[in-house]
Amino acid sequence: MVKPGWQKRALRVSDRVFFGSLVFFVIVCMGPALVIAVLGLLTGSTPTEEQGGFFGWSAEYPAFNPQSWTLFIPAAGMLFLSIWTIPLPLRRFPKPGRATFAWFAFVAFLFSIPLGTAYFGAPGIHNEGTLALFVYLVAWLLFVVRDILGWVHLVPLAWRDGPSVRTRRAGKPASADA
């Protein structure tokens, strides 16, 4: 038996996981690459185009290991959301819904391509986060498939967004003459 109010609790959990994943991705995953690029520009150690530019490497660049394995943390959050929100009708505004989750998973996938492969071949950098690309891609596919199944009504009625069938309640007649 499903307890009353489970959807509200599930939505709170999904909001927290989404915003946590978003903030973590921007600060912890994208931040180091930005800091490395700024340090390279300030010190003049940025590699040439032939060496790969900002995402390449030279003797003094990058200044530190950006720890690409951290890409797995928001990827795991998005994969959790893609499974956790399957039974939830998620067309909400202004809070994020399934479409927002899907867009973030896709954008994170695209940004993870350069972040996961950055500084490839530099001493001490092993690009452990490259496989996180596939986790983002799987999460995005799950969000999209769940949306499509909802649109064609192949999910249970309780999972659908909004009413699927309008019912008329029995009540008083429209006029007193009837």
Residue 172 belongs to some domain of the structure = no
| CA torsion through residues 82, 85, 89, 92, sign | negative
Q: Is residue 114 a contact partner of residue 130, using CB atoms and an 8 Å limit?
A: no
Of 71, 152, 81, 173, whose CA–CA distance to 117 is shortest? 71
- Range with the lowest mean pLDDT among 4-8, 26-30, 91-95, 165-169? 165-169
Range of the domain at 12: 6-159
Q: How many domains does the chain have?
A: 1
Residue 24 belongs to some domain of the structure = yes
Question: What tens digit of pLDDT does each residue of 62-81 get?
Answer: 888 888 899 999 999 999 99
Six token digits for residue 36: 């490395």
Q: Is residue 112 a contact partner of residue 70, using CB atoms and an 8 Å limit?
A: no
Question: What tens digit of pLDDT does each residue of 140-175 get?
Answer: 999 999 988 888 888 787 777 655 445 556 666 656
| Between residues 49 and 28, the one the model is more confident about | 28
Residue 60 belongs to some domain of the structure = yes
CB atoms within 10 A of CB 165: 5
Residue 175 belongs to some domain of the structure = no
Residue 119 belongs to some domain of the structure = yes
| CA torsion through residues 53, 56, 58, 60, sign | positive
Residue 43 belongs to some domain of the structure = yes
Six token digits for residue 146: 């769940």
pLDDT, averaged across the chain:
84
CA angle 102-30-28, nearest 5°?
Answer: 95
Q: Tokens 């399957």 appear where?
A: 86
Residue 168 belongs to some domain of the structure = no
Rounded to whole angstroms, the Cα distance separating 106 from 169 reads 43
What are the two backbone dihedrals, phi and then psi, of residue 130, each rounded to the nearest 5 degrees?
-60, -35
Question: Which whole-number Å values give the CA distances from 104 to 47, 132, 136, 154, 159, in the listed order?
Answer: 31, 14, 9, 25, 22
Of 78, 80, 69, 81, whose CA–CA distance to 28 is shortest? 69
Question: What tens digit of pLDDT does each residue of 89-139 get?
Answer: 766 656 777 888 999 999 999 999 999 888 888 888 888 888 999 999 999
The answer, yes or no, to whether residue 1 has pLDDT greater than 50, is: no
Residue 121 belongs to some domain of the structure = yes
